Amino acid sequence: MELDIFSDTICPWCLIGKRRLERALAERPQPGLKIRWRAFQLNPDMPAGGMDRTLYLETKFGGPENARSVYDRIREAGASENIDFNFDGISHTPNTVDLAPPDPLRRAP
């Protein structure tokens, strides 16, 4: 069996999903399972140099209060997987297109 996983390196839900998949496979091993990680760009309109985190939150979520509500849910889900997210420590949101490994399925812009 082959499993293609599309993930962005900065996506917190992707990390949570990875941990959940690891736990599921530990509980029910799948001999012969081939996992292929594929690049996914969570924010395709992100400028090449990324952007200030405050501006990112305003643009994506309509401001810090809406972002806090979203990230509170992510923190809670992360905690259930032993992930301690520190979103307040992020001052810059990068463009992840160059952070992902080459993906033969990804089309050039």
CB of 40 within 8 A of CB of 4? no
pTM of structure: 0.84
Structure tokens given for 12: 């917190």
* Residuewise pLDDT in 10s, the chain (109 residues): 999 999 999 999 999 999 999 999 999 999 999 999 888 898 999 999 999 999 999 899 998 889 889 999 999 999 999 999 999 899 999 998 877 555 555 544 4
* 103 in Cβ contact with 6 (< 8 Å): no
Beta-sheet strands, E only, within the chain: 2-7, 34-39, 51-52, 92-93
Structure tokens that stand for 20 in this block: 């959940």
Q: What is residue 88's DSSP assignment?
A: G
